[in-house]
């Protein structure tokens, strides 16, 4: 449900749109290599939020506009609250979460200063930014898992990628019952017997990075094998996507034979209303998404989270610079791990945090 939050004594306005794959392993390895090249593991000494910076802050003012991923939104919103409370309450920071795709559209038009993203920027989006003269730096923020959910009454407890393809891939178009997907799931080696019950899907919309990440991690590999790399789509086309994560939670909790997915932190916040399914990685068996399994990469449906900062704006806006310094400095652990108050996402290990700080400093 959209809401605005006024931090005590501050000017933060938050509008919330409560609206492994091999590729993932390669990305994580690449990030580690970048970290080794860019900095030491001693993030405290390299933190851009030094005592000197803090002493110089506090007299900044202005406005910062952030939009994009509803998954990253709570992290940025928390960092903004802390910044207004502890650094400067004269910087008005607006944060909303219409979705990663929508956020990049605004960012590449120059309408926002920071774009929250639950996936990396696409080539077409980067081309739009370039065409409009928007320069940026990509900053890794944290790791998150995508939680596959159903209703607590559903007997299914664990699924593999084949199950999810059978239920959610393009060959499932028109399936309104779990049992209709059984034949495809059997072909793909399922160990489940799907219930003879309505298949009520509530899932992210096409503007969401969570939607894109789910397709890339879970569905695309099987889809390419079965339909070819040039297939028009790797997901069923009859899903009515939702922009608001809380609407997805409500949809899944409202049907006894539901199916959907959101970022893990949102699902964990609603563990009393939905059942989070384990995912079989094909090697170790069924693995539940937890902070530990996301952190060590053992949960198969995990992904990195980012922010993108307009570097031309940063060159002339001290408030923006000090906010990002603070985001990856004093506010970092609190913002990432307590994005929802008591819970949050998986913070970067020291070496990757140092690499992100080096990328920001080298902008």
240 vs 309 pLDDT, higher one: 309
Give the count of alpha carbons within 13 A of 23, CB side only: 15
Mean pLDDT of 323-335: 98
Residue 255 token pair = 């049907």
Q: Rounded to whole angstroms, how far apart are CA atoms 31 and 23? A: 12
Percentage of the residues of the chain whose pLDDT score is greater than 70 = 84
Please provide the average confidence, as pLDDT, over all residues in the chain. 87
Query: Rounded CA gap, 303 and 21, in Å?
Result: 10
Instruction: Give the full edge-to-edge strand order of the sheet including 158-160.
Output: 158-160, 278-280, 286-287
Rounded Cα distance between 344 and 96, Å, is 18
Q: Is the pLDDT of residue 29 over 50?
A: no
- For position 148, what pLDDT does the model report? 98
Mean pLDDT calculated for residue range 205-221? 94
Residue 49: per-residue pLDDT: 43
pLDDT in tens, 82-91: 999 999 999 9
* Alpha helices per DSSP H over the chain: 22-38, 43-46, 51-56, 73-86, 100-108, 123-131, 161-168, 182-187, 209-214, 220-227, 245-253, 264-269, 291-295, 311-314, 318-327, 332-337, 350-361
Q: 184 near 307, Cβ under 8 Å?
A: no
Give Cα separations from 291 to 10, 176, 265, 347 (angstroms).
32, 33, 9, 9
Distance CA(247)–CA(109), nearest Å, equals 29
Report how far apart, in Å, the C-alpha atoms of 146 and of each of 244, 263, 292, 354, 356 are.
15, 5, 14, 25, 23
Q: Is the pLDDT of residue 31 over 90?
A: no
Over 70: is that where the pLDDT of 319 sits?
A: yes
**What is the predicted pLDDT for the residue at 8?**
29
Residue 121 predicted with pLDDT over 50: yes
Beta-bridge mates of residue 306: 117, 140
Q: What is the distance, to the nearest Å, from the Cα of residue 133 to the centroid of all Cα atoms in its chain?
A: 26
52 pLDDT more than 80? no
pLDDT of residue 41: 35
- Give the residue-averaged pLDDT of 111-129: 97
Confidence of residue 326 (pLDDT cuts 50, 70, 90): very high
For residue 136, pLDDT over 90 is answered with yes
CA dihedral 277, 28, 285, 145 (to 10 degrees): -10
pLDDT at 243: 86
Which domains are seen in the chain, by residue range? Answer: 13-144+303-361 (3.40.190.10), 146-302 (3.40.190.10)
- What is the C-alpha separation between 54 and 69, in angstroms, rounded? 29
Contact in structure between 188 and 159 (CB atoms under 8 Å): no
Task: Name the pLDDT band for 241 (thresholds 50, 70, 90).
Answer: very high
Q: Provide the pLDDT for residue 58.
A: 56
CA 291 to chain CA mean position, Å: 14
SS3 (DSSP) at 148: strand
Return the pLDDT at 342: 85
Q: What is the mean pLDDT of residues 23-51?
A: 41
Quick one: pLDDT at residue 282?
Answer: 92
Quick: pLDDT tens for 247-301. 999 999 999 999 999 999 899 989 999 999 999 999 999 999 999 999 998 999 9
Burial of 292 (0-12, 13-18, 19+ CB in 10 A): exposed
* Stretch among 16-20, 261-265, 272-276, 305-309 having the lowest mean pLDDT: 16-20
For residue 173, the SS3 value is: coil
């Amino acid at each position: 449900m959209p809401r605005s939050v006024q931090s005590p004594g501050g000017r933060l306005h938050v509008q919330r749109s409560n609206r492994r794959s091999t590729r993932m392993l390669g990305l994580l390895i690449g990030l580690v290599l970048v970290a080794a090249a860019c900095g030491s593991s001693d993030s405290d000494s390299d933190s851009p939020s030094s005592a000197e910076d803090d002493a110089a802050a506090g007299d900044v003012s202005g406005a910062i506009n952030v939009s994009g991923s509803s998954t990253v939104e709570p992290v940025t919103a928390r960092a903004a609250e802390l910044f207004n409370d502890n650094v400067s309450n004269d910087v008005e920071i607006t944060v909303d979460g219409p979705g990663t795709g929508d956020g990049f559209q605004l960012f590449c038009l120059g309408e926002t200063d920071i774009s929250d993203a639950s996936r990396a920027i696409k080539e077409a989006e980067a081309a739009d930014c370039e065409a409009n003269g928007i320069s940026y730096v990509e900053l890794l923020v944290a790791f998150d898992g995508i939680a596959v959910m159903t209703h607590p009454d559903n007997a299914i407890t664990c699924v593999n990628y084949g199950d999810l393809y059978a239920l959610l891939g393009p060959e499932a178009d028109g399936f309104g019952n779990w049992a209709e997907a059984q034949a495809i799931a059997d072909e793909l080696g399922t160990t489940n017997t799907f219930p003879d019950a309505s298949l009520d899907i509530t899932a992210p919309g096409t503007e969401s990075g969570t939607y894109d990440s789910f397709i890339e991690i879970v569905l695309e590999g099987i889809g390419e094998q079965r339909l070819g790399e040039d297939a028009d789509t790797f997901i069923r086309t009859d899903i009515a996507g939702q922009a608001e994560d809380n609407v997805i939670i409500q949809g899944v909790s409202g049907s006894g034979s539901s199916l959907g997915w959101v970022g893990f932190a949102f699902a964990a916040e609603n563990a009393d209303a939905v059942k989070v399914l384990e995912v079989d990685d094909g090697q170790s068996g069924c693995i539940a998404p937890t902070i530990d399994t996301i952190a060590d990469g053992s949960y198969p449906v995990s992904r990195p989270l980012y922010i993108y900062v307009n570097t031309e704006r940063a060159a002339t806006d001290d408030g923006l610079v000090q906010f990002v310094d603070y985001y990856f400095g004093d506010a970092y652990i609190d913002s990432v791990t307590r994005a929802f108050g008591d819970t949050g996402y998986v913070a970067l290990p020291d070496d990757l945090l140092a690499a992100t700080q080096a990328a920001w400093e080298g902008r």
